[in-house]
Amino acid sequence: MNEVSCLSLQKTVIGERMPVPMVANKTFRFAPPPDHKAKHLFVFLPGGGATPESMISVAFKFQARFPSAALVIPNSFEAPDDEAGHERSATPMLALDEEARMERIHAMLPRVEDVVRREQTNNGIGAESTVLIGFSQGGTLALEAVKQLPGLAGAVVAYSARFARLPRVGTSIRARVHLVHGEHDAIVSRVHSERAARVLAALHVPVTLDIVEDLGHALSHHAVSLGSLRLLQGIYEGRRATLH
């Protein structure tokens, strides 16, 4: 996999962004500043058909709130470009029926797991301090990853996303889940996040849901800030529970 390693985003000054090489289909890594040891690993999963560059501005916002987090924006997890794979990937996953969505998820999750496990090893960070952050299809991948791969990550922040298939009764999900959805999302209805929040709560999974007013299927500054705030609150609540 081609890679691009970048210096810490914290080395920029306000109003000035560090130059970032804009090369499609690369993996971007952003390390904490030298005076911060990496305590968390954030893996950003772009929407379907999007390049890693589409999540760089989101990574900037998260690192502002979590300066000790190591950030990774991997390459696409779509199937290889053979004839059948190209036809499958040409259809957005969220437009497929449930069975086809699950088939696509099952093909992509092993690559997601490989990337996350490798980055955990490289950064010396455990699953409990790993967060999957995804938009649209990337959010669906993040949700399905913690549902199907228990112990992969400690939290998910999913924007404008849905489960490919809602968790069934008895499903064990050992991660906090933070859902953020646009009120007027016409691509993935907010109803999917509302249903997911109810199902997760019934499974005793720590979950938050924020519906952003006047927002469609998009990432706004307010939406991203809400997701990072809920993540921060969840981390502190987890620490308090451990102390008690």
User: 195, 220 in Cβ contact below 8 A?
Assistant: no
Check if 184 is active-site: no
Q: Which of 178, 181, 192, 217 is catalytic?
A: 217
Q: Which of 40, 160, 178, 185 is catalytic?
A: 185
SS3 10: helix
Check if 136 is active-site: yes
- Which residues are CB-contacts of 141 (< 8 A; sequence separation ≥ 6)? 45, 77, 105, 108, 109, 112, 132, 134
Q: Which of 129, 136, 160, 193 is catalytic?
A: 136
**In the sheet where 69-73 sits, what is the strand order?**
3-6, 27-30, 69-73, 40-45, 130-135, 155-159, 176-182, 207-212
Radius of gyration, CA atoms only, the chain:
17
Place of tokens 């990550």: 153
Check if 228 is active-site: no
Q: Which residues are catalytic?
A: 136, 185, 217
